[in-house]
């Protein structure tokens, strides 16, 4: 069994920003036009009027102040309320693969590796652009990597679940260097016209390089002490978009074909699951939660992260558990990887950290690392 290290990460950031003020202005125009269109039904009491949003509501509910997106105009168009992308021909690199390659190149540079050094690619994200061929195999070809590639989806926990697969492959010798990419175009599954969640998501792509310690040459390396995954079925976060929709004669624009959640139930149920999962994982590795220098948590909701940290160490501390969702919003599986990417340089050799994601499924995944 080989020792395993993380030697590089990458972050590909979209070119466009949507502030809360811009989002609210667009959403409230949509509310006005819909209420005007259904004025008779609203007056008759057979239809409830849509309620406007506000910057204060968004920040209080989530802690989010803005989000990055790959396409802005379609999202802010009250007549459309979702992004507008140009379909690409089959012989052109697909959008998700393009983003993954950009993030992967950063991770490779950090690690001092080339595409040819990779012998496995895992594309892990909350949605895939197509059913097949696998996005990972397209990324593999674009980078000149060898070995194999496959896609996997565990919603917001996709990245940590993929890291465990990568770690196991390296530890057992079936691969020497594994690339995990997380192209999260969450704007495509966001219900931008639903007040309860129209502010939640942002786009991004992250990458993580996992390899054998005895062949790693990166100046900074993070030893993987352990990984742990858990799932528990719940309908409280759900998206019914899928390949059988056509055969079911269902409306592709129906509300259930995009992200939806029972937010209060999720908050109440997921926080204790995540905290107990982390505490148990650390205990089995011989570490107390207070001994962990940094927690890179899933970035869904500021209050949720504060509760998790309070349960683990007694007080909420942004230095111990950095927040990136105020800038990036919820980027699904990429959130904890962004936190790790941007907030690890100040740790000293021997410091321990935990990368943890939690979300739909329910699912929770943790990766305990130590700086070498």
pLDDT tens-digit readout, 116-167? 999 999 999 999 999 999 999 999 999 999 999 999 999 999 999 999 999 9
Residue 20 to residue 225: CA distance in whole angstroms: 39
Contact in structure between 187 and 328 (CB atoms under 8 Å): no
CA angle 142, 127, 52 (to 5 degrees): 130
Active site residues: 156
Name the phi and psi angles at 288, rounded to 5: -90, 150
Tell me which fold the domain 222-371 belongs to: Peroxisomal Thiolase; Chain A, domain 1 (3.40.47)
Contact in structure between 371 and 349 (CB atoms under 8 Å): yes
Name the phi and psi angles at 317, rounded to 5: -145, 115
Q: Extract the tokens encoding 207.
A: 């990458």
In the predicted model, residues of the chain with pLDDT beneath 50 are: none
Query: Hey, which residues does 208 pair with through a beta bridge?
Result: 9, 180
Q: Which residue has the tokens 């993380």?
A: 6
Residue 159 to residue 157: CA distance in whole angstroms: 6
- Rounded to an integer, what is the distance from CA 192 to the centroid of its chain? 18
Tell me which fold the domain 4-15+87-215 belongs to: Peroxisomal Thiolase; Chain A, domain 1 (3.40.47)
Contact in structure between 20 and 350 (CB atoms under 8 Å): no
Name the phi and psi angles at 8, rounded to 5: -165, 150
Q: Extract the tokens encoding 346.
A: 């100040």
Contact in structure between 364 and 154 (CB atoms under 8 Å): no
Query: Hey, which residues does 363 pair with through a beta bridge?
Result: 231, 359
pLDDT confidence of residue 315: 86
Identical fold, 4-15+87-215 and 222-371: yes
Extents of the domains making up the chain = 4-15+87-215, 17-69, 222-371
SS3 77: coil
pLDDT confidence of residue 267: 86
Listed in sequence order, the residues at least 6 apart from 361 whose beta carbon sits closer than 8 Å to its beta carbon are 154, 155, 157, 231, 232, 233, 234, 237
pLDDT confidence of residue 141: 98
């Amino acid at each position: 069994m080989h020792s395993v290290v993380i030697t590089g990460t990458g972050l590909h950031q979209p070119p466009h920003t949507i502030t809360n003020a811009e989002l609210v202005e667009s959403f409230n125009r949509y509310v006005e036009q819909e209420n005007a269109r259904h004025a008779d039904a609203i007056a008759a009491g057979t239809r409830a009027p849509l309620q406007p949003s506000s910057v204060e509501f968004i920040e209080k509910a989530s802690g989010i102040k803005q989000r990055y997106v790959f396409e802005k105009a379609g999202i802010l168009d009250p007549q459309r309320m979702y992004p507008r992308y140009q379909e690409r021909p089959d012989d052109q690199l697909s959008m998700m693969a393009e983003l993954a390659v950009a993030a992967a190149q950063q991770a490779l540079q950090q690690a001092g590796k080339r595409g040819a050094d990779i012998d496995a690619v895992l594309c892990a994200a909350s949605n895939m652009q197509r059913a097949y061929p696998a996005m990972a195999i397209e990324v593999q070809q674009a980078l000149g990597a060898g070995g194999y590639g496959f896609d996997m989806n565990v919603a917001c926990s996709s990245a940590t679940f993929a890291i465990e697969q990568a770690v196991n492959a390296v530890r057992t010798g079936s691969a020497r260097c594994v690339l995990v990419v997380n192209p999260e175009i969450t704007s495509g599954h966001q219900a931008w016209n639903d007040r309860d969640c129209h502010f939640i998501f942002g786009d991004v792509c992250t990458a993580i390089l996992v390899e054998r310690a005895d062949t790693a040459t990166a100046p900074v390396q993070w030893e993987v002490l352990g990984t742990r995954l858990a799932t528990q079925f719940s309908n409280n976060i759900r998206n019914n978009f899928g390949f059988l929709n056509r055969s079911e004669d269902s409306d592709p624009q129906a509300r259930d074909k995009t992200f939806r959640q029972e937010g209060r139930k999720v908050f109440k149920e997921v926080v204790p699951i995540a905290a107990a999962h982390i505490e148990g994982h650390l205990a089995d590795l011989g570490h107390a939660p207070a001994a962990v220098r940094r927690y890179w948590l899933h970035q869904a909701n500021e209050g949720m992260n504060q509760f998790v940290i309070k349960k683990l160490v007694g007080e909420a501390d942004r230095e111990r558990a950095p927040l990136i969702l105020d800038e990036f919003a919820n980027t699904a599986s990429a959130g904890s990887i962004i936190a790790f990417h941007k907030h690890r340089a100040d740790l000293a050799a021997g410091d321990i950290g935990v990368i943890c994601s939690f979300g739909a499924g329910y699912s929770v995944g943790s990766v305990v690392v130590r700086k070498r």
